[in-house]
Structure 1
């Protein structure tokens, strides 16, 4: 028997939120004896237009039964959808019978409106994380996570993160071999830890000046070196004082903060994805002193490196 997936859509949903997870389930179904049956759902059925203008044929909620897994997608229309009492009732009903309920991107708002996220750790697109926190203060929002698994509820950030979540679901259902082969078919990473950052520090720090973009790239490749203001200023042929002022104006933070963020990103990747000793990672990423790195982790991630590694190993979803 195939695993039944219900994909809940609404007007102005994000097409790739729906297509990414659907493709993962479809491809996984071709790789083994077991597989998935995915049904697109909407309030009244028929064609539902995405925000791009393309539409998907759906089945009305009144005509469907129980599902193993319900996936609620995100999109520009999530505000109107989360106010629909019929959708809320349907989500709550499915949550009472389904093995798990999932969301992609701002689909988390619909789960929250249905009362499923209170007290749970969840994620959504980073741009909407503060809005979700403010609107639903009982929800524990992890603004930077790619996807989060809390009991029977799975939530993910935007588009590609939905694919990461779907691959984690496939792995849970069909095993690591099918999950890995599905990722290979899709030409995506098989295992991107759910707690990994939604976006890179370099992307966050995009400069308004090309010379500082080049400098940030150089810093990222030379984290082991001493990266003082004097050294960085000399790389761009500026005086330290003028460099610090110009860098902050262009990048939005001090040179020291930018260096620390790049070191933290590199250190977290190694902590989560390798078995290297913490002391070695501290040296590789320019912290040198493990205690210095620990303090930086606690400030940035609210937990020390050892806890980040445990969470990545114990909860790879």
Structure 2
């Protein structure tokens, strides 16, 4: 069984590989009548695409999106929305003679499927996250009351932004890489979204972000600090997560995701010295998809 789809009522499915002819996605369950055009989607894709600075992968992908279905005269029709991006700058020869790479999904894909696409990591490549960003742009239309903003909080354990370029230059010079922490805040989430026990809003947010390539940890609100705090400290309103009992409280929802250092060091191919730098738009997209799904679930049960 494969799991390439995400969500309950707002269903997102992605397809394609890093070095295939194209990547794409389908969003099913989107309400009709929402204004949607390619420039709206492109705005978010441009924030994630490679080749924009020396601190990200030099792969030159314009990531020009095409909407293939589900939109008529600028509005969603309620039918599946299909989007596609052509891959135009793949260099598959870089991966022709590489053995399974430590820290990648190469060996585990072999173990599971008995074969794999070695070109750029195939399906396991972070290239796939472009379609998550495209899907997240549609999800944002479902939740216009919510504002979602993510930022890089740390690179290589350093919170001083003035030090980041020097740290990245040092890592590149030593054929090394750095991890990062992304913080995302969703404001305007009404009270009542989420469900007890098995559909907790915070559990779904954590699962969605753990599904992002290279993410190794997620904390919501005070996160692990809650395990070191006293009750009086934890009850402080400034430390709350915006979610109690798996249901939103109306306060801002705060989430942080830890991206591991890029595993592709000292080997062929083109890679990010810190993959987390391009992680903020992806985290935003996954949070948007979860919140939109939970809005529709809440409306379905409670009106």
Q: Per the shorter chain, which TM-score range?
A: under 0.3
TM-score, normalised on structure 2? Answer: 0.27
Q: Which has the larger radius of gyration?
A: 1
Greater share of helix:
1
